[in-house]
Amino acid sequence: MTDMTTAPEGGHEPQFSTRKATRRGGGDPATRGRTTIADGVVEKIAGLAARDVVGVHTMGSGLARTFGAVRDRVPGGGKSVTRGVKAEVGEVQTALDLEIVVDYGVSIADVAHAVRENVITAVERMTGLEVVEVNIAVSDVKLPEEEEEEPEPRIQ
């Protein structure tokens, strides 16, 4: 520690302790308290990771997509990144159920493998939770000639 012998301008002499600083509480800081992660947080991470995979057209069942399209058009409704994703989160592990629609012509097995890999990597990296399973249900195939769910607004 430093010992100051002259007072700085203003006349106040700084006080420095010669006592060695000790750490209070002891032990590893990581063991002081709990971190909990909500199901919705894991669902958002998984939903975004699944949508990043080439061949995934959209997420959710036909009914969920219909309600989602209506909600997306309502001001303040916003797009739901958790559509088609259900997570069960424990203290150290999580399990996920995903419902996806794939593009016509892609290998469903390859898309499912890529989705599973991408979701596990993203969730484990961001949350520290162990992903014990990712169940994928393919609920539909998007055909090229099918009209889009959300048509572009027409200029009048």
CATH of residue 101? 3.30.70.1350
Token duo for residue 101: 């629609």
Q: Is 92 a domain residue?
A: yes
Looking at residue 61, its pLDDT comes to 80
Q: Nearest-5° angle of CA 42, CA 46, CA 51?
A: 155
Show the domain range for 117: 35-142
User: How many Cα neighbours within 13 Å face the side chain of 49?
Assistant: 25
Q: What residue has token string 């669902």?
A: 43
Q: Sign of torsion, CA 79 104 112 110?
A: negative
Q: Is 5 a domain residue?
A: no
Looking at residue 23, its pLDDT comes to 58
Question: What distance in Å separates the CA atoms of residue 43 and residue 49, rounded to the nearest whole number?
Answer: 10
CB neighbours of residue 81 within 10 Å = 17
Structural domain count, the chain: 1
pLDDT along the chain (156 residues), means of 10: 51 57 67 91 98 96 54 58 96 97 97 98 98 98 77 50
Predicted model pTM: 0.69
Q: Is 113 a domain residue?
A: yes
